[in-house]
Amino acid sequence: MPTSIYEVLELMRKYGRIEKIHKDTYIVEVKADKVKDICSILHWKLGGHFSVTVGSDERLINGYFAIYHVFLLDEQKISIIVHTKANPAVPKIPSITPIIPGANWHEREAHDFFGIVFENHPNLERLILPYDWPEKVYPLRKDVSIEELRFKILKPETVKAKAKPEEEYIVPIGPYHPALHEPEYFELYVEGERIVDAKYKGFHVHRGIEKVAEERLTINQIPFIAERICGICGYTHNVAYCQAVEYAANIDVPLRAKYIRSILLEIERIHSHLLWFGVLFHLLGFDTGFMMTWLVREKIMDLAEILTGNRKNYGMNLVGGVRRDINEGKIKLSLETLDHVEYKLRNILSKMLKLKEIMSRTKEIGLLSREEARKLSVVGPVARASGISTDVRKYHPYAAYGELEFKVPVYDAGDVYSRVLVRYDEIFESISMLKQLLKNIPKGDLMAENVEVPEYRKGLGLTEAPRGENIHLVITGRENKVYRWRPRAPSYNNVPSTLVMLKGENLADAPAIIASIDPCFSCTDHVVVVDVKRGTRRTLRLKEISRGRAR
Amino acid sequence: MIAQLLVLTNIVGLLLITPIIDGIERKIKARLQCRRGPPILQTWYDLLKLFRRPSIVTEEYSLPYIISPYIVFANIIFALALLPSITRVSLSFYGDIIVLTYLIASSSIFIAIGSISSGSVFATIGANREISIATLSKLLIALVLASFAILKGSLTLEKLFPIMPPYTISAILAIVLFAILAYIESYKLPFDIPEAEPEIIDGILVEYSGKSLGVLKYSMYLKRVLLFTMLIDLVLPRNLPPIISSLAYIVSLIFVSILFVTIETYFGRLRIDQALKFMKTLIPILLVVIVIAYFHI
């Protein structure tokens, strides 16, 4: 098989016109009938992985609907975007879900929002739009405005719940379950204590960020709304968006700004991983561990506050650079804090992970094999715990990561314990990276001088969020706006894998398994308020669920 | 008459200090977790607040759901009357050891029946877990009480206490085993499986609120103190002067609860099958203890 970039590009050329859009990123325009072949080659033969499908209404630019399948080739360190056009009258494109099951949600989302039909998709039901959403209204199309959506099209309806007796007990987890304080809804079918089947319904909290950004916000306002996609790792979204626009506009960001971005990204990673450790310990009933890890995490939060002025939502980025500098005193203070944190964590965390209860409740539980992981195209620590070495920082370096030395921890067992170990190792890698960054930070400007953004250019922004790769596709628009912005959070790819992990496990292990992917439902639900399930499946109202009544 | 009054003193005294004992446990636990912790009277405040609130009931409950908290409470109070605690006097009659076993078992069963009758799926799973643990732990408690009865040759609790002298291996083993069982029975981590908060949102307690939750919580604290009392009675010498014996009892009560809560801090929750496996290993040990107790070793 071809291994060099040149060979890969030669192979791609057989399928369609190839164009370099920016550094390490190529776009291949193919005819609809060749999409399946090229995607199958990219995902299964060239060792790349499917990352995101972006639908786009480009009737204003060239008269077509467009679909972009983005693949990341870790070995060649490039990204390839497969671009297909669809007829605006009857938008139809062959589905790639039969080949790459991980594309399921992505294609359904494009179907929901643009009305693009994916032929041979196994289950082209609504994913995000609520069931009472009117037919033939596609909210992200350019001919539908926010005002129309709010005041004309949407009329709230009340729906009666229909309860149907079931053989097994159904344990509803969510929308607000004390274990996971976020609006997610898992339906676990149990016999005794054993889970026989699991279903997930998400997207309860659609915020319409994409629509708002495309219609109302300017390019430099979006970084701030991007930061609010996630309450834990918002800065990675912020950076990913800025990078996408910078690549699209060919803006050269000063090195010092890149270093500052990397520093904050790593601080965010440590805080996120420590938060996750605390949650895991709490779920396993080990509250001492929860309190102690969060005590250490507090130091990291303080550090973020010292460097940016905020504990969360740093608000540091603009397209072209960063807004605040870091002086020598802060660097010295940061290094001291990091030493303290590292010492504390080596002492506390390593001992906690050796506790017998923690081991017995996490080892060989929630298994995800390498094959399943590849099929669902999971990312981040979940993939790394299933033996897939993938890390955007290493293979698609951005910000200052190209100049750092670090390892990518990979474990093969694919259980909850491996995911614990991956994150444990990553914390210390992050600390070592932070020390390198803080010691070597160069002098220089904070903002690029020329920040003109040309229209209708594409940019792909990648960051490695604590939960996995974050990917933002931006098509710049006219009048200082974006034409299309699609942020994809890592949990979007990881959540479907929990359904595989849950089957056959104990109910008592369910919270730990769900938490093991570090799900971030608010990231995933970037987009509607759903309170009911469709069709033959049982309907549950929020009121019922909150009472825990499910029979 | 005086004996009855002293038993009443026991019960009233324990009703008063039990929430304080829990408050001390919470404080110690918080300190061990690097937290400041609530004031020692917090459990009392919580209970008083709950007693003032009305109980909200589910739509599909049945009678046991309403009455079982009170039955459990009555069970525990009766069981407390059988044990010498603050004063060294107790209701005593032939075969009260069997009544005690029954009372401890029935309190678990009524908790389970009550929560099943609430009609909630989480409560049902909690009750399921409660019963799985209870069937084993009640058997173990019956066995350990049997070994005490054999050691002392009596079915009256009053004649059992203290278990030593004779200083035999079986006596020491039986006390240690009882301590372990008391730990399991008082829903301490890693054995708080029926009310696991992150897994099944407090399981057996999920549908209770207001007064009935208050009563149920109160009975759970009292049950904990009941088991501690029993453990202390097994060890505390009998012929101490009255005031000193009361003081000794209260000091040991606090000591036992601090000991248990310290152990608790270092554990996560076990899964139910792991807990049952652990408890099953205790059965053969207990049988051996009974046999050697019979031969006065």
- A136 vs B23: which has the higher pLDDT: B23
CA distance A393 to A402: 8
List where CATH 1.10.645.10 sits in chain A: 209-493
> How high is the pLDDT of residue A214?
86
Across the strands, what pairs with A183?
Answer: none
From chain B, the residues in CB contact with A360 under 8 A are 270-271, 274
Given an 8 Å threshold on Cβ–Cβ distance, is A286 in contact with B273? no
Best probe of the B interface among A171, A182, A189, A287, by most B CBs < 10 A, is A287
| Topology annotation, domain A209-493 | Cytochrome-c3 Hydrogenase; chain B (1.10.645)
Given an 8 Å threshold on Cβ–Cβ distance, is B121 in contact with A287? no
Given an 8 Å threshold on Cβ–Cβ distance, is B33 in contact with A283? no
CA distance A321 to A449: 10
> How high is the pLDDT of residue A171?
63
Name which of B35, B197, B271 is nearest A508 (Cβ-Cβ). B271
Residue B37 backbone zone (phi > 0: left; psi -120 to 50: alpha; other: beta):
left
From chain B, the residues in CB contact with A190 under 8 A are 125
Q: Which residues contact A72 (CB under 8 A, 6 or more apart)?
A: A48, A49, A51, A79, A390, A392, A395, A396, A462, A469
Q: Where are the domains of chain B?
A: 2-294
> How high is the pLDDT of residue A526?
40
Are the C-beta atoms of residues A200 and A513 closer than 8 Å to each other?
A: no
Best probe of the A interface among B34, B58, B199, by most A CBs < 10 A, is B199
> How high is the pLDDT of residue A245?
92
> How high is the pLDDT of residue A167?
52
| Topology annotation, domain A5-153 | Beta Polymerase; domain 2 (3.30.460)
Name which of A286, A511, A548 is nearest B199 (Cβ-Cβ). A511
Are the C-beta atoms of residues A15 and A30 closer than 8 Å to each other?
A: yes
Given an 8 Å threshold on Cβ–Cβ distance, is A548 in contact with B201? yes
- Break chain A down into helix, strand, coil percent, rounded to 5: 45, 20, 40
> How high is the pLDDT of residue A179?
55
From chain B, the residues in CB contact with A550 under 8 A are 121
Q: How many CB atoms lie within 10 A of CB A20?
A: 11
CA distance A537 to A539: 6
Q: How many CB atoms lie within 10 A of CB B255?
A: 12
Asked if B11 reaches chain A (Cβ–Cβ under 8 Å), the answer is no
> Which range, of A176-185, B58-67, B246-255, B282-291, averages the lowest pLDDT?
A176-185
CA distance A523 to B178: 51
Best probe of the A interface among B59, B62, B189, B200, by most A CBs < 10 A, is B200
Name which of B120, B199, B273 is nearest A548 (Cβ-Cβ). B120
CA distance A44 to A52: 16
Are the C-beta atoms of residues A418 and A412 closer than 8 Å to each other?
A: yes
**The amino acid at A464:** E
Are the C-beta atoms of residues B151 and B168 closer than 8 Å to each other?
A: yes
Name which of A169, A172, A285 is nearest B269 (Cβ-Cβ). A285
Q: What tokens does A249 get?
A: 């506009």
Name which of A169, A508, A548 is nearest B206 (Cβ-Cβ). A548
- Residue A190 three-state SS: strand
Are the C-beta atoms of residues A415 and A367 closer than 8 Å to each other?
A: yes
Name which of B120, B125, B207 is nearest A507 (Cβ-Cβ). B125
Asked if B273 reaches chain A (Cβ–Cβ under 8 Å), the answer is yes
Asked if B206 reaches chain A (Cβ–Cβ under 8 Å), the answer is yes
Are the C-beta atoms of residues B226 and B79 closer than 8 Å to each other?
A: yes
Are the C-beta atoms of residues A411 and A516 closer than 8 Å to each other?
A: no
Q: Indicate the burial class of A387 (C-beta count within 10 angstroms; 0-12, 13-18, 19 or more).
A: middle
Torsion angles phi and psi, residue A434, rounded to 5: -60, -40
Name which of A177, A287, A506 is nearest B271 (Cβ-Cβ). A506
Are the C-beta atoms of residues A241 and A472 closer than 8 Å to each other?
A: yes
**Shortest Cα distance from A362 to chain B (angstroms)?**
11
CA distance A335 to A401: 19
Supply angle C-alpha A152, A157, A162, rounded to 5: 155
**Shortest Cα distance from B14 to chain A (angstroms)?**
29
Asked if B193 reaches chain A (Cβ–Cβ under 8 Å), the answer is yes
Provide the number of CB pairs (under 8 Å) joining chain A to chain B: 103
CA distance A348 to A344: 6
| Helices B2-32, B242-265: inter-axial angle, 10-degree rounding | 30
Best probe of the A interface among B122, B187, B192, by most A CBs < 10 A, is B122
Residue of B nearest to A178 (CA): B198
List where CATH 3.30.460.80 sits in chain A: 5-153
Are the C-beta atoms of residues B155 and B92 closer than 8 Å to each other?
A: no
Given an 8 Å threshold on Cβ–Cβ distance, is B268 in contact with A507? no
> How high is the pLDDT of residue A529?
26
From chain B, the residues in CB contact with A291 under 8 A are 33-35
Asked if B199 reaches chain A (Cβ–Cβ under 8 Å), the answer is yes
- Residue A17 three-state SS: strand
Q: What is the mean pLDDT of chain B?
A: 84
Q: How many CB atoms lie within 10 A of CB B85?
A: 27
**Tens of pLDDT, residue by residue, chain A (551 residues):** 557 888 888 888 888 899 998 888 999 999 988 889 889 988 998 888 999 999 999 888 888 999 999 999 888 889 999 999 988 888 889 999 999 998 988 999 899 888 899 988 888 888 887 767 777 888 888 888 888 877 776 665 544 444 444 455 666 665 555 556 666 677 777 776 677 777 777 776 667 788 888 888 888 888 888 888 888 888 999 999 999 999 999 898 999 999 999 999 999 999 999 988 888 888 887 888 888 889 999 999 999 999 998 888 888 898 988 998 888 999 999 999 999 999 989 888 888 888 777 888 888 888 899 998 998 999 999 999 999 888 999 889 988 898 899 999 999 988 889 999 999 999 999 999 999 999 999 998 899 888 888 888 899 999 998 888 999 999 998 888 899 999 888 888 888 888 888 888 877 777 788 888 877 665 555 432 222 333 223 333 333 333 333 32
**The amino acid at A40:** S
Best probe of the B interface among A186, A547, A551, by most B CBs < 10 A, is A547
- Which stretches does DSSP call E strand in A192-262? 194-201
From chain A, the residues in CB contact with B204 under 8 A are none
CA distance B23 to B43: 6
Asked if B28 reaches chain A (Cβ–Cβ under 8 Å), the answer is no
Residue of B nearest to A296 (CA): B34
DSSP string, B194-252: GG-HHHHTTGGGTT--HHHHHHHHHHHHHHHHHHHHHHHHHHS-S---HHHHHHHHHHH
Q: How many CB atoms lie within 10 A of CB A163?
A: 12
Nearest alpha carbon to residue A384 among A316, A280, A481, A466: A466
| Span B221-259, pLDDT tens digits | 999 999 999 888 888 887 778 888 889 889 999 999 999
